[in-house]
Structure 1
């Protein structure tokens, strides 16, 4: 049964994505979510149409230059079915970890095909992607019945479920669901006993583990971040 995506970027994030004003790393997570989410595909199409209508309604005096007028005329003269004209799609990529193969959304295909070495600790493995300037971007694999130690966040954490499910104190998240956590959020994600999980992780700062011996991992994150 196909999972119905329940957790989406906010409208503000989608608008910024369409406008092209998001950082590259955040835009990557949003774009991969859109690949997996028919609802947000429609939302983005509506945003594009609204922005086009607003541009078309501008009075000539509001168009700052003749170049702007020419650009508007070019947009308006495009065929009505221009939305259906698409650039060639990237080839999809399969990632293999722990003997399991996962198909990656097209937005991540090129980067995922160039991922770094898998670093494993218990049932958790991570592989850095060649992306990110101010943020750490990686694939995160969590084996069946595995718990990520309780942690809070020193910055923004975006987790996009690519396959499988994870559960924490606030809900259950399946393929396409996008979790966004801030320094105000503390949680203990885990997988189900019979299903592993692959995620895209975008971090603006390292995690902070809170309990027991896992706190010893905090200074070690500098080697992985």
Structure 2
């Protein structure tokens, strides 16, 4: 091993060595190499190697311990770290975070109808902010990972609940049908009025489609703000079904 006299030149040489070896060595190999390099520099070697490679001083100290302990610290075949080594998952340090997150996502069914997110967008950013206020150290990306692990996914709401029907609903339609047939037999008019929801009047986008030259769709307003002069209309139709 070389003992460097010029600190600037020495640091550059360490950087070149590390760049050449970092893609070849695994995590354990890099920290052991860093420890060997630091040992060759003697006084201040750990600080110099840490500055040149970007490895933390703690990592290099671990490399020293592995060198001193010898083969007893070598992981089993196929492993880089000792069993149980590495950063523990968030759920290890905060095992109740899953329950806290679940309560925020579905407050009405998890016993917390006064949740501050009940009437706000349940984005991962908002969920992370609320969990942080509860004392958890978590970011929005980790919230997304946890939600995925919990079986959640981004979904739009769906119109599937019709609501309860009036007990006389069928009888009402039978009565209307009978009266319609009676009027038709007498050649009397039977009027049907059909109305739709209110619509903005003006050059606004709608969900329909029509044939246009390719690449030349009809241009409409970007924002659907009501025109004060044109206002809204209620489309309706009056039909004589007789």
The interval holding the TM-score normalised by the smaller chain is under 0.3
Higher relative contact order (Cα pairs below 8 Å, separated by 6+ residues):
1
The structure richer in helix per residue is 2
**Rg (Cα) greater in structure:** 2
The structure richer in strand per residue is 1
Q: TM-score, normalised by structure 2?
A: 0.24
